[in-house]
Amino acid sequence: MATIEQAQATQISNIETATGKSLEVLCKQVNDSGLTKHSDIVKMLKAELGLGHGNANLIAHMAKQAAHPADSDTPPLDLLYVGTKAHLRPIHEALLEVINSFGSFNTSTKKNYISYRLSKQFATIGPATKNAVEVGINSRSLTEGDRLERLPPGRMTPYRVRLTAPDQVDEQITGWLRTAFNESQ
């Protein structure tokens, strides 16, 4: 099975072949465009280069990393939990302690959350509001309850739970995350 990094390298190679431009040139084109909003950059790449959404999205992210290389060295939790959301970081850390006990997994930092995955994503964690961390749980065998909310189709995960304090990371949440982790193998 290919790693996420191998899959991304293949995708970049395919984009370079399709556009006839290197990743460096594509990133420069994005950064020289003056566009700053991610969706505007994706639209521009799709219109000007005929890229599909996934490829345009990847180039937009790569261009941002190229323009701000220090950000890529910053620990992900330092990027998510700043300002009015800084006090929520202990909740995320408590969740990570639970997830780390399951075994190894991959992470992918997004703008507003971190994705946790094995062969597929099993959870997302990030500050949803200035008062709560949202845990998205990707499982088909769980059922909605008083804490576990079923989300409408089309969302990244079918369930979510919002936490406002580290002590809310209990056996119930651990069980839901373990179920999602086991299903994603």
- Average the pLDDT over 111-120 and give the result: 91
Q: Could you give the percent of the chain with pLDDT greater than 70? A: 95
Name the residue range of residue 154's domain: 76-183
pTM for the full predicted model: 0.64
Domain boundary among 15, 39, 72: 72
Q: pLDDT digits over 29-66, tens only?
A: 998 998 888 889 999 999 999 999 889 988 988 888 77
* Same domain as 109, residue 24: no
Distance separating alpha carbons of residues 50 and 1, to the nearest angstrom: 29
* pLDDT tens for each residue of 66-115: 776 555 567 888 888 988 999 999 999 999 999 999 999 999 888 889 99
Q: Using CA atoms, how far apart are residues 26 and 174, in angstroms rounded to an integer? A: 42
Number of domains forming the structure of the chain: 2
pLDDT score for 156 = 87
CB atoms closer than 10 angstroms to residue 47: 10
Domain shared by 96 and 152, yes or no? yes
Do 91 and 179 lie in a common domain? Answer: yes
Write down which residue in 42, 72, 102 finishes a domain: 72
81 shares its domain with 104: yes
3-state secondary structure of 106: strand
Same domain, 94 and 159: yes
Are 175 and 129 within one domain?
Answer: yes
Confidence of residue 3 (pLDDT cuts 50, 70, 90): low
Helix (H) or strand (E) holding 149: strand 149-150
Q: How far out from the chain centre does Cα 131 lie?
A: 20
- Secondary structure class of 100 (helix, strand, coil): helix
Point out the domain boundary residue: 72, 103, 127: 72
Residues 56 and 116 in one domain: no
How many C-beta neighbours within 10 Å does residue 15 have? Answer: 23
pLDDT per residue as tens digits for the range 121-143: 999 999 999 999 999 999 999 99
Residues 157 and 96 in one domain: yes
In this structure, are 173 and 94 located in the same domain? Answer: yes
- Rounded to 10°, the helix 4-19/23-32 angle is 80
* Shared domain check, 84 and 27: no
Q: Are residues 173 and 87 in the same domain?
A: yes
